[in-house]
Amino acid sequence: MLKIEAEIYLNREDEGGMTKEGFSGMMPSFNVENNLIMCRVTLKTKKDVIERGEYHKVSIELPYGEEYRNYISAGYCFTLNTGKKIIAKGTVTSMEAISSEKN
31-64 per-position pLDDT tens digit:
999 999 999 999 999 899 999 999 999 999 999 8
pTM of the model: 0.90
Burial class of residue 21, CB neighbours in 10 A (0-12, 13-18, 19+) = middle
Q: 15: helix, coil or strand?
A: helix
CA 101 to CA 44: how far, in whole Å? 25
Alpha helices in the chain (DSSP H): none
The residue ranges of every structural domain in the chain are 2-97
Give the CATH number of domain 2-97: 2.40.30.10
